[in-house]
Amino acid sequence: MKESKGMSMNQKEELRTQNMIRFIEAARELIDQEGLESLSIRKIAEKAGFHNSTIYLYFRDMDHLVMLATLKHFTDYSRSLARLSRQNLPPLDNFFAIWSFFGHTVFRSPHIFYNFFFGKHSDNLTDIMEEYYAIFPEEKEEYSALIGIMYYGKNITERCYRLLESLLDCEGLRIGRDNLEMVNEIIVSFLKFLLEEKCQDPESDPGIMNHRLLEMIKYVTGA
């Protein structure tokens, strides 16, 4: 639907949101049907009922649109986090529960989450998520303070670092302020390696991938 010169600002903004939703839902359906690797601007625009170039009126590029379209895959993870945030677990248990939920999710959709955490717009996660929840406010969940801080970190490195900080007061671990950044870099690098491996070998067991991730985190933290 095209904008009319007689529209009010509110009407134009509402139409803009509706058109963005059409593009996002078209991209989402194509990703679910054909996979992220087969996606193209032409396919998305055709399915949404627009000309190819119209996408750039609403999104910076296709990667921006893909980020918004794939955030739907965070729904189950988000709901698990919301439930987890109400359990008031001890810091160490909470830390590994979050990582377990995370691994269970990402290794089942590796291409999507690799793009999400290590793709072109991966350093703008907070802005992308705020934009998404402005379009789909009904999907936003409430979290505890700790999970909220981790969930809305700028990128995967910052998110993981904030979560790792929750263990600083736990006794008997091998982490402190002096090595926190190094430990975090090891965790994020191994996560990236496992996602790349899973993308290259789709038949590999996601449960085993998650186990490898958790075992490595236990080793580097001394848990």
Q: According to the 3-state scheme, what is the secondary structure of the chain?
A: CCCCCCCCHHHHHHHHHHHHHHHHHHHHHHHHHHCHHHCCHHHHHHHHCCCHHHHHHCCCCHHHHHHHHHHHHHHHHHHHHHHHHCCCCCHHHHHHHHHHHHHHHHCCCHHHHHHHHHCCCHHHHHHHHHHHHHHCHHHCCCCCHHHHHHHCCCCHHHHHHHHHHCCCCCCCCCCCCCCHHHHHHHHHHHHHHHHHHHHHCCCCCHHHHHHHHHHHHHHHHCC
Render pLDDT for 66-112 as a digit per residue (tens, 0 to 9): 989 988 776 667 777 777 767 788 989 989 988 998 898 899 989 88
Mean pLDDT over the full length of the chain: 86
Which domains are present in the chain?
9-59 (1.10.10.60), 71-221 (1.10.357)
- Residue 107 has a pLDDT of 94
What would the mean pLDDT of 24-44 be, rounded to a whole number?
Answer: 90
When pLDDT is averaged across residues 178-197 and rounded to a whole number, the result is 96
Average pLDDT over residues 141-149: 58
